[in-house]
């Protein structure tokens, strides 16, 4: 007999392919909650059977009506309710944030049980910088919206992580190669499953590879940050500063020039003062 849990919302991460990746704490909590909220009850029924959980399931999406959310919140104040998604970490390109926000606003306890997440697992496989990354979820399906979304992040000095499906992979890689230029990337497929695969190359090389050969399975694209710009020379700095100082104070000129040349403002400001500028 499982001990009941204190009331509240339990966000439970589940495997993204290999059932062995279920944490023992996640299995324990799923066996002890009074209800499980799931995206697709048929998908989650298999997982619950695997861990021996018997709690009733309710389908939940963030677009579920407000009445259902209020009913769940009322139940959560006296019972333990788990939220799971079809696979991986709930709320990451999956439903849940509205429920978490509402539970917090109602003063209810919210717990998370960390576990598998395809974006994080892909970052560990890609061999690309992981110190700064931006998760973009799925790109828009329409060409113009997709190009706009790519342009918006092109200059960000971080690795990019995107979810994609096999049929759209070639098209998306083409759009990414056009919008981001030459950048190292990895296409990571079927993480933790039998056919797990990581293919690396530039965006253009990967676009070429997958253009007419859409792969099967679930996919994450990881793209390395834009290449470092060469440090501006003293001569370049002087030309830019001299021009900027014609109309701006040294600190304003230094800020503008530093941003334009991608150099520290301190260096630009020191040189602006040497060039005779006065604040």
Site residues, ligand SAM (CB under 6 A): 16-17, 85, 87-89, 92-94, 117-119, 163-165, 188-193, 218-220
CB of 60 to ligand SAM, least distance (A): 14
CB 207 within 8 A of CB 170: yes
Please say whether the beta carbons of 234 and 250 come within 8 A: no
Of 126 and 240, which CB lies nearer to ligand SAM in the complex structure? 126
In this complex, which beta carbon is closest to ligand SAM, that of residue 191 or of residue 268?
191
What contacts 220, CB < 8 A, 6 or more positions away? 118, 119, 121, 122, 161, 162, 163, 164, 187, 188, 189, 191
* Beta carbon of residue 12, minimum distance to ligand SAM (angstroms, whole number): 12
Helix, strand or coil, per DSSP, at residue 197: strand
Q: Smallest gap, in angstroms, from Cβ of residue 228 to ligand SAM? A: 29
- Taking a C-beta distance cutoff of 8 angstroms, is the pair 140, 149 a contact? yes
Pick 16 or 223: Cβ nearer ligand SAM: 16
Q: Is the CB of 30 or the CB of 244 nearer to ligand SAM?
A: 30
The least distance separating ligand SAM from the CB of residue 127, rounded to whole angstroms, comes to 16
Q: Which residue, judged by CB position, is nearest to ligand SAM in the bound state? A: 88
User: Closest approach of Cβ 136 to ligand SAM, in Å?
Assistant: 11
Instruction: Please identify, using beta-carbon distances, which residue of 41 and 193 lies nearer to ligand SAM.
Output: 193
Q: By C-beta, is 29 or 117 nearer to ligand SAM? A: 117
Shortest distance, position 59 Cβ to ligand SAM, whole Å:
15
Q: Which is nearer to ligand SAM, 92 or 158 (CB)?
A: 92
Distance spanning both ends of the chain, measured CA to CA: 75
CA distance 143 to 7: 46
Q: 243-269 as b/e, with b when 16 or more CB fall inside 10 Å? A: ebbeebebeebbbbbbeebebeeebbb
Structure tokens at 63: 């677009």
Closest approach of ligand SAM to the CB of residue 119, in Å: 6
Closest to 221 (Cα-Cα) out of 166, 262, 178, 161: 161
Q: Which residues contact 274 (CB under 8 A, 6 or more apart)?
A: none
Q: How far apart are CA 213 and CA 222, in angstroms?
A: 19
Asked if 96 contacts 10 with a C-beta cutoff of 8 angstroms, the reply is: no
């Amino acid at each position: 007999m499982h001990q009941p849990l204190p009331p509240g919302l339990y966000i439970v991460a589940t495997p993204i392919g290999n059932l062995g990746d279920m944490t023992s704490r996640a299995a324990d909590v799923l066996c002890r909650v009074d209800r499980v909220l799931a995206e697709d009850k048929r998908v989650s029924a298999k997982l619950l059977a695997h861990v021996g959980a018997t709690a009733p399931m309710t389908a939940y999406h963030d677009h579920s009506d407000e009445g259902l959310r209020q009913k769940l919140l009322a139940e959560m104040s006296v019972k333990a309710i788990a939220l799971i998604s079809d696979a991986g970490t709930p709320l990451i390109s999956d439903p849940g944030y509205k429920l978490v926000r509402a539970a917090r606003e109602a003063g209810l306890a919210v717990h998370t049980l960390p576990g598998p997440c395809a974006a994080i697992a892909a970052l560990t496989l890609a061999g690309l910088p992981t110190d700064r990354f931006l998760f973009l979820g799925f790109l828009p399906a329409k060409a113009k919206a997709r190009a706009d979304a790519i342009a918006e992040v092109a200059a960000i000095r971080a690795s990019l992580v995107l979810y994609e499906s096999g049929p759209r992979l070639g098209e998306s890689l083409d759009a990414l190669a056009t919008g981001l230029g030459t950048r190292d990337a990895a296409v990571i497929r079927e993480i933790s499953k039998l056919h797990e695969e990581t293919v690396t190359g530039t965006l253009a090389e990967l676009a070429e590879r997958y253009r007419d050969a859409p792969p099967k399975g679930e996919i994450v694209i990881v793209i390395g940050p834009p290449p470092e710009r060469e440090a501006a020379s003293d001569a370049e700095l002087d030309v830019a500063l001299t021009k900027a100082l014609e109309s701006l104070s040294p600190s304003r000129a230094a800020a503008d020039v530093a941003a334009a040349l991608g150099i520290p403002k301190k260096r630009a400001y020191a040189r602006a003062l040497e060039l005779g500028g006065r604040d």
